[in-house]
Amino acid sequence: MAKKSKKTAKKSAKKAKAAAKKPARRTVVAKAVKSAKKAVAKAVAKVAGNGMPKPSNKPFGMDGKALQGVRILDFTHVQSGPTCTQLLAWFGADVIKVERPGIGDITRGQLRDVPNADSLYFTMLNHNKRSITIDSKHPQGKRVLDELIKTCDVLVENFAPGALDRMGLTWDHIHKTNPRMIVASVKGFGPGPYEDCKVYENVAQCTGGSASTTGFRDGPPLVTGAQIGDSGTGLHLALGIVTALFQRTRTGRGQKVLCAMQDGVLNLARVKLRDQQRLKHGPLTEYSQYGEGIPFGDATPRAGNDSGGGQPGRILMCKGAPDDPNAYIYFITQAPVWEAICDVIGEPTWKTDPEYATPKARLPKLNQIFARIEQWTMTKTKFEAMEILNQFDIPCGPILSMKELAADQSLRKTGTVVEVEHPTRGTYLSVGNPIKLSDSITEVKRSPLLGEHTDEILTDVLKLSAKDIAEIKGSGALSAPEKKDKAA
Ligand code: COA
C-alpha cells in the first residue's frame, strides 16, 4: 500500500514539475504540487507510522495509561504473583483480585503489625487492585468465574501445581470460554523432576544457583535479602504477559505464559554460570581466592563481596564501622580511574610502579590493595567518601540501611518511596513503581479490603441485576461458610 502511494506521489510530483514550466497555468501547477505533497506526506506517514494511530497531541502523562483497557483476572497470592499484577495495575490495567471468601490472600494476616488491619506484607504488594470474593469450588462461584473469564484479557495465578485444574479452570476450558485469554502462571519449577513441588522464595534462591554462589567461601550458602525468587519472577511474568498481549494484537489469540522461579533466579544469576564455564580454562583471577593462592574446585565458588564483573570491587569500612553496621562503602577499582584512586588514597607511586600499574599486575594483590584503600575510607563517613570519589568518577556506593532509604527525600520525589493512606492501618510507607514511563504516570492507590469491590464488579463488569446478585449471594458462593455452632 505504502509503495503504491509513493509511486503515485512521484508521478504527481513529475506532473507538477512539467506543469510548472508553463507559466500560464500557475493555478493548475500550484494545485498539482499541493496534491503531490499531500500524497507523499500520506505515504510517508503510512510507512513511518507502521499502522499506528497519529501521535497524540495531548501533553505527556495526560493520554491515559499504558495498559488502559486491559482487564486482569488476578488469582495470585503471597508475593510472586501479586508483584506481577501490581505492576500491571500501576501501568493502568484493571486488576480484579479473586480471593477466597472469609480468608482472602493468606498474607492479609501474616506478619501483622497493626491488630485487625491488613498486614504490610499484603498492602505493599496489592496496590491499585480491586478485590472480589468468590468460592471457586462452589457451582455458582464457577459460573461467576466463567463470566469473568469471558470479559478479561489475562488470568494470572501462582497456585501450587494442579490447583487451577482442580478448580476446573484448565487451559482447555479457559481457551474454549475465551480464546483471546492469556493464562500466566508462576510455578516453582518448570517441567521436570520437581514440577509438582510447592516453592517459596528461599527454595528458589537455593535451587536457582543464587545461594551456592552467595556468601563467603569459608561459610555456608547464603540467601539474599532481595526477593529475587518471588518479586524477581513476578517481574519476569509481567514482561511475559505484556509480550503475549502484544503478540495477540497480531494473532488474535491468547497463550500460556509460564515463569518458573528456578528459571527466574538462574536468569538473574547468569554471570555465575558464565564463571562455571570459565573455570575449565583456568582460575577466576578476579576472585580474591585467586590472590590468596587458594585453588578453585569444580563449581563456581562463593565470592564474598568480590565484584561479579571484570572490575575488582569490595565492601570497605568507613568512619563509624564496625559499631555502625552500615558504615561501609562499595568501592570499585575501575581500571580507567586507577591513577585517580592512587592520588586520592595517597599512593601516587602506584600509578607507575609496574607491581600496581596494570590490572593484571594488581589481580594477585587485591587484598593488600583494598586494605590500603580501606585505611583511607575509614577516615571518612560513607557519604563523605562517596562525595570525594565521585569527583573523580570512581564508582562507589554507600551501604544504605532501610532507615536511610525510608527517609531519602530524592526517592520520595521520584515516587519510588511513597506514603499511602489506608482506612484501617493509617499511613504507611511503600515502594512505588520502580519503572517510570513518561506517558503513563503511576499513582499509587491503597490495596483493597477483602471483597471491597464484589458488588461493584458484579454490577459494572458482569452487568448483573440486583436480583441476580442477590441470588448468587444467597447461594453462598461469595461468602465464607457459616461457622458451625460448637455446642450443636
Ligand atoms: N476459592 C476456593 N478455593 C480456593 C480459592 C478460592 N477463591 N483460592 C484458593 N483456593 C484453594 C486452592 O484451590 C487450593 O486448593 P486445593 O489444593 O484443594 O486444590 C488451596 O486453596 C491452596 O492453594 P495453594 O496454592 O496450594 O496454597 P498453599 O498455601 O498450600 O501453597 C505456595 C502456597 C506458595 C507454596 C503454592 O501456592 C505454590 O507453590 N505456588 C507456586 C509457586 C509460588 O508462587 N511460590 C511463591 C509464593 S510467594
| pLDDT tens, residue by residue, 401-451 | 999 999 999 999 999 999 999 999 999 999 999 999 999 999 999 999 999
Residue 160 CA to ligand 1 center (angstroms) comes to 5
Q: Which of 159, 169, 205, 479 to mutate to test the pocket of ligand 1 (most atoms within 8 A of CB)?
A: 159
Sequence length of the chain is 488
Q: Which cell goes with 53?
A: 494511530
Out of 153, 230, 275, 306, the active site residue is 230
Cα 141 from Cα 146, distance rounded (Å): 9
Neighbouring C-beta atoms of residue 134, cutoff 10 Å: 27
CA-135 nearest atom, ligand 1: 1
Backbone angles phi, psi at 420, to 5 degrees: -125, 140
- Whether residue 98 contacts residue 135, with contact meaning beta carbons closer than 8 Å, is answered with no
Cα 213 from Cα 71, distance rounded (Å): 40
Q: Is the CB of 168 under 6 A from ligand 1?
A: no
Residue 141 CA to ligand 1 center (angstroms) comes to 17
Q: Which cell goes with 390?
A: 565521585
Report, as ranges of residue numbers, the positions in the chain whose pLDDT lies below 70: 1-30, 32-33, 36-37, 39-49, 483-488
Cα 196 from Cα 194, distance rounded (Å): 6
Query: Tell me, what's the pLDDT at 1?
Result: 32
Q: For ligand 1, atom 6, which residue shows the shortest CA distance?
A: 100
Angle in degrees, 0-180, between the axes of helices 231-251 and 80-90, rounded to the nearest 10: 50
Cα 12 from Cα 23, distance rounded (Å): 18
Q: What is the DSSP letter of 153?
A: S
Q: Is the CB of 158 under 6 A from ligand 1?
A: yes
Measured in whole angstroms, the distance separating CA 381 from the mean position of its chain's CA atoms is: 33
pTM above 0.85, yes or no: yes
Residue 163 CA to ligand 1 center (angstroms) comes to 7
Told to judge if 230 belongs to the known catalytic residues of this protein, a careful annotator would answer yes
Q: Is the CB of 137 under 6 A from ligand 1?
A: yes
Q: Find, among 488, 487, 375, 480, the residue nearest to 141 by Cα.
A: 480
Q: Find, among 429, 434, 298, 289, the residue nearest to 363 by Cα.
A: 289
Cα 155 from Cα 150, distance rounded (Å): 11
